[in-house]
Structure 1
Amino acid sequence: MNKHGEIRVIVLGLIQDGDRIFVSEGYDPAKQLTFYRALGGGVDFGETSLAALKREFLEEIKAELTNIRYLGCIENLFIFNARKGHEIIQLYRCDFADPKFYQLDSLVFHESDNHKHKAMWIDIARFQSGELRLVPKEFFNYL
């Protein structure tokens, strides 16, 4: 997790297919709350956010992206696991190059050795109704 006072630059890929979006599932142990977010990750020093986006999708789910378009920047202040967080999110809209990803219900991937995550297609209406929680909430501006 972030050191105190650290601002993290991350990149997220918004992949939409009709009325559904591709998201990963997260869990906040302090709040005992499940949430969902677009896939992506940290931008390394000396790396562009576009290069980081492609790298993260390849590393995490072995997926190549196509039709990549920059959407904008979101500044995200949040609390996760009882700690303050601050992210600058570079947001891109993109598509999977391989159509097989559109046929999947879900997949499990490893972000690191001990962190397993699940990614899945979820109907946008389930987020809009408040049934499921999509973060950050500014994300809705791009759907």
Structure 2
Amino acid sequence: MLKEGEIRVLALGIVRDLAQRVFLSQGFDPDTEKHFYRAMGGGVEFGETSEAALKREFDEEIQAELTNIKYLGCLESIFTFNGKQGHEILFVYECDFVDPKFYHLSSINFPEKKRQKTALWVEIEKFKSGELKLVPEKFLTYL
């Protein structure tokens, strides 16, 4: 949820498979009427490390446990969503699912703040070619 004048701190996880796909959450901007894709994860709470937030968010959203968690870097993202400016600091991690069943699912629906969202496997090449939009765009360097 975007709050005016607030900088959000998020922890996001990149999970890849052997087929050159990445597991992402699909979003929709009602202002532009376009879909976009973003790594799974969420907000870091006060007193919580970004790695702990990453684990908690994956557990809360899709009941998935993570392993092989490796810190990749930090990004700053200033963007517009639904006609409002947003500002985020993103802690980026590479990780794997503990349960191999997640690598065989095509998608997972999950509730997030009064709306249904979908997480799915997407071919990395679709972002490199510009066919699909990854946010923030700088995130592509981690794929």
Q: Shorter-chain TM-score: what band?
A: over 0.9
User: Aligned with 2:32: secondary structure?
Assistant: coil
How many pairs are equivalent?
142
1:132 equivalent in structure 2: 132
Normalised by the length of structure 1, the TM-score is 0.97
Deviation at 1:3, TM superposition (A): 2.3
Q: For residues 76-122 of structure 1, give each alpha carbon's deviation from its aligned partner in whole angstroms, at most 9, with x where no partner exists.
A: 0000000000000000000000000000001101113x211000000
Please tell me the root mean square deviation across aligned C-alpha atoms, in Å. 0.8
Correspondence 1:81-92 to 2 at 5 A: 81-92=82-93
Among all aligned residue pairs of Structure 1 and Structure 2, give the percentage whose two residues are the same amino acid.
59
Gaps of 5+ in 2: none
Gaps of 5+ in 1: none
1:77 equivalent in structure 2: 78
Amino acid of the residue matched to residue 64 of structure 2? A
Partners of 1:11 and 1:73 lie apart in 2 by 9
1:50 equivalent in structure 2: 51
Partners of 2:4 and 2:53 lie apart in 1 by 24
User: Aligned with 2:102: secondary structure?
Assistant: helix
Partners of 1:85 and 1:44 lie apart in 2 by 18
